[in-house]
Amino acid sequence: MSEKLQKVLARSGLGSRREMEQVISAGRVSVDGSTAKLGDRVEDDAVLRLDGNIVQTRSDSDTICRVIAYHKPEGEVCSRKDPEGRPTVFERLPKLSIGRWIAVGRLDLNTSGLLLFTTDGELASRLMHPSYELEREYAVRIFGAVDDAMIKRLKQGVMLEDGLASFDTIHAAGGEGANKWFHVTLHEGKHREVRRLWESQDVTVSRLIRVRYGNTVLSKKLPHGAWLELPLEDVNVLRDSVQLQHETRTMLDMTKDNKVNTHRLRRTAQKSRARQLQRHKATSAKPKTKQQPKRRQGRG
């Protein structure tokens, strides 16, 4: 049976369905030698190419759905490469022999907390799609006066430049002086939505941490810059939440105790950060070679 082209590409680990739709629209994909267009369906034996390179397609039975939870620190960007040379979240992830890690959403440069990655493009697409209404929870530190009237406005809805936005819930979480912590939830992932909602009320967001995505909670034992692969049970909780069939296989060794080893994860994160800094230091230290003007040869 034929399948949508973007679904086949996503399952091959090239990105989420949304990313693959953009790639197809840009004319970068061909099917059996002809440039593909959005909406195309393909058969199992079709030859797919992305930027001229053959895509190794995989069936559902060939793909093991893996999910890792990453504790993103501030200062890392959520892209594979950064033109400004800043560190990226992908640099610390474990290497894959087939496919690649797909980020479930993004976090801003100055936002830390839970970031999910998966090898399953279909899962990534559904987890991000607003129709499934997966709840995100953030811990926010606010500088400024927050009263009941402001909280009511933020829950009823505030008109931002890209439309009406609101928090589902807002709960006070302590703090001292002018700095107060709140936990907020919302079920959409618009660009910088949490910050923009608070800043529309003339207060400042001084810290922002994502602590939950759907049913997956950021473990307090997971250090900044460390990742942890989710066990099969937790992977299937995520798949249930977006109406996907259960995964039956895992890359984890189920004979071992897979509890969070904080000390080991912290050491791994520190080594990863050291390698990351070393790479960027080496890149920035490379002298830029200037092209020397050609010497004019004299006559005679």
Q: Which residues are catalytic?
A: 108
Q: 241 with 283: CB under 8 angstroms?
A: no
Task: Mention every residue, 6+ apart, whose C-beta is less than 8 A from residue 263.
Answer: none
Euclidean distance between CA atoms 138 and 187, whole angstroms: 11
H or E stretch at 68: strand 67-72
Euclidean distance between CA atoms 67 and 189, whole angstroms: 19
Q: Is 29 exposed, middle or buried (0-12, 13-18, 19+ CB in 10 A)?
A: buried
Q: What is the DSSP letter of 223?
A: -
- Both tokens of residue 18? 């949304």
Q: What is the DSSP letter of 118?
A: E
Annotate 238-289 with three-state secondary structure: HHHHCCCCCCCCCCCCCCCCCCCCHHHHHHHHHHHHHHHHHHHHHHHHCCCC
- For residue 67, give the nearest of 106, 112, 116, 136 by alpha carbon: 116
Q: 78 with 115: CB under 8 angstroms?
A: yes
